[in-house]
Chain A
Amino acid sequence: MSNAGLAVRYVRSDLHTNPGAHLALTALLLLSAFLMATGAMVAERLVGSIDRLFEIAEPPDFLQMHRGDLDHAALDAFAAEHPEIEAWLIEEMLGFDGAAVGWQHAATGASGDLADSVMDNLFVTQNQEFDFLLDAEGAVPQPAPGQVYVPVAYQQSYDLAVGDRLTVRTDTGPHQLQVAGFVRDAQMASSMSSATRFLVSEQDFEDLEAAGGGAPEHILEYRLTDGASAGDLQRAYEADPDLPKNGQAVTIGMIRLLNALGDGLVAVALVLGSLVLVAVAVINLRFVVRGTLEDEVREIGALRAIGISHRQISALYLGKYATLTLLACAAGGALAVPATAGLTQAMQVNYAAAPAGAATVLVPVAALGLLGTLVLLLCRQALRRVGKAPVVGALVGGSMLSERQTARRARRGAARARRHRLAAYSGTRVNTFLARLDLRADLRQWALVPVVFALLSVLMILPMNLLSTFQSPRFGTAMGAPEADLLVDLQFSPDLEDTRTGLLADLERDDRVTEVSVLATELREVPGEDGWETLRVQVGDHHDAAVQYLHGRPPGPGQVALSVLNAQRYQLAVGDTLPVRPAGPVSSTDQASPAVVSGVYQDLTMGGYTAKLPGEPNPRAAGYAIYARVTEATDPADLAAEYADRYPTASVIQMAEYLDQTMSFVTSSFRVAAGLALAFALVVAALISALFLSLQLKRERQRMGVLFAVGFSRREIVTQMRTKALAAVAVGVLGGTVAAAAGGQHLVDGVLVAAGLGITELRLFPQAWLVYGVYPALLVGVGLGVSVLTTARIRSAQMSRWLRG
Chain B
Amino acid sequence: MTATDTVLQASNVTKEYPSTDPPTPGITGVDLQVAAREFLAVMGASGSGKSTLLQVISGMDHPTGGQVQISGHDLTALGDDQASRLRLTTIGFVFQQAYFLRNLSIRDNILLPALKATPRRKVQVLARVEALMARFGIADLADRAITEVSGGQLQRASICRALVCEPEIVFADEPTGSLNSQTTREVMDALTEVHADGTTLVLVTHDPTCAARAERVVYLRDGRLDAERTLGPWRPATARDREGELLSWLTGLGF
Contact = CB atoms under 8 A, between A and B. Distances in A.
Contacts of A798: 61
A712 B116 contact: yes
Contacts of A795: 80
Interface stretch (B87-95, B192-200, B207-215): B87-95
A799 B85 contact: no
Interface string B74-108: 00000011011101110001010101111111011
A803 B99 contact: yes
Contacts of B46: none
B108 A417 contact: yes
Contacts of B88: 710-712
A713 B116 contact: no
Nearest to A412: B145
B112 A800 contact: no
Contact of B117 (A429, A702, A705, A711): A711
A438 B103 contact: yes
Given A422-B108, A423-B108, A713-B80, A413 B147 contact: yes
B80 A715 contact: yes
A799 B55 CA distance: 10
A430 interface: yes
B85 to A, nearest CB: 7
Contacts of A420: 103
Contacts of B100: 706
Contacts of B83: 713
B68 to A, nearest CB: 14
A421 interface: yes
Nearest to B90: A711
Contacts of A171: none
A703 B100 CA distance: 8
Contacts of A707: 101
A413 B81 contact: no
B188 interface: no
B161 interface: yes
B165 interface: yes
Nearest to A803: B99
A708 interface: yes
A430 B116 contact: yes
A714 B105 contact: no
A280 to B, nearest CB: 29
Contacts of A712: 84, 88, 116
Given A422-B104, A711-B84, A803 B115 contact: no
Given A417-B103, A418-B143, A799-B60, A710 B81 contact: no
A713 B84 contact: yes
B80 A417 contact: no
Given A410-B148, A414-B145, A712-B116, A441 B103 contact: yes
* Range of interface residues on A (Cβ < 8 Å): 35 or more
B112 A422 contact: yes
Interface in B108-132: 108, 111-113, 115-117, 119-120, 126
Interface string A398-431: 0000000000001001101110111100001110
Contact of B61 (A417, A714, A715, A799): A799
Contact of B85 (A438, A709, A711): A711
Given A410-B145, A413-B145, A709 B87 contact: yes
* Range of interface residues on B (Cβ < 8 Å): 35 or more
A641 interface: no
A711 B99 CA distance: 14
B135 interface: no
A437 interface: yes
B147 A706 contact: no
Nearest to A707: B101
A716 interface: yes
Contacts of B115: 422, 430
A649 B144 CA distance: 91
B101 A711 contact: no
Contact of B120 (A422, A428, A713, A803): A428
B112 A430 contact: yes
B113 A711 contact: yes
Contacts of A421: 105, 107-108
A709 B112 contact: no
A710 B87 contact: yes
Nearest to B89: A711
Interface string B146-177: 11100000000000010001000000000000
A258 B208 CA distance: 90
A710 B161 contact: yes
B73 to A, nearest CB: 14
Contact of B93 (A416, A417, A428, A709): A709
A185 B104 CA distance: 72
A703 B146 CA distance: 13
A410 B103 CA distance: 10
B135 to A, nearest CB: 18
Given A413-B103, A420-B103, A706-B101, A428 B147 contact: no
Most buried by B among A417, A420, A422, A803: A417
Interface string A375-416: 000000000000000000000000000000000001001101
Contacts of A703: 101-102
Nearest to A430: B116
A681 to B, nearest CB: 33
Contact of B60 (A410, A441, A708): A708
Nearest to B171: A709
B112 A715 contact: no
A102 B34 CA distance: 96
Nearest to A437: B103
A702 B113 contact: no
A257 B10 CA distance: 84
Interface in A762-804: 795, 798-800, 803-804
B142 to A, nearest CB: 9
A361 to B, nearest CB: 48
B70 to A, nearest CB: 13
Contacts of A708: 60, 84, 87
A429 B117 CA distance: 11
Nearest to A715: B80
Contacts of B117: 711
Contacts of A711: 84-85, 87-89, 113, 116-117, 165
B61 A423 contact: no
B111 A423 contact: yes
B101 A414 contact: no
Given A430-B116, A798-B61, A423 B126 contact: yes
B106 to A, nearest CB: 8
Nearest to B55: A800
Given A422-B111, A428-B120, A430-B119, A705 B99 contact: yes
Contacts of A800: 51, 55, 60-61
Contacts of B147: 410, 413-414
Nearest to A716: B84
A455 B169 CA distance: 52
Interface string A45-61: 00000000000000000
Given A709-B93, A798-B61, A799-B61, A413 B102 contact: yes
Nearest to B100: A706
A709 B84 CA distance: 8
A428 B119 contact: yes
Instruction: List the 6 closest pairs (A to B, CB-CB), nearest first.
Output: A711-B88, A414-B145, A713-B84, A428-B119, A410-B147, A422-B108
18 contacts: A417-B143, A417-B144, A417-B146, A418-B145, A422-B115, A428-B119, A703-B102, A708-B84, A709-B87, A710-B88, A710-B161, A711-B84, A711-B85, A711-B88, A711-B89, A713-B81, A795-B80, A803-B99
Given A710-B88, A711-B89, 16 more contacts: A416-B103, A417-B145, A417-B146, A420-B103, A421-B105, A430-B116, A702-B99, A709-B60, A709-B87, A710-B93, A710-B113, A711-B116, A711-B117, A712-B84, A715-B81, A800-B55
Interface of A: 410, 413-414, 416-418, 420-423, 428-430, 434, 437-438, 441, 702-703, 705-716, 795, 798-800, 803-804
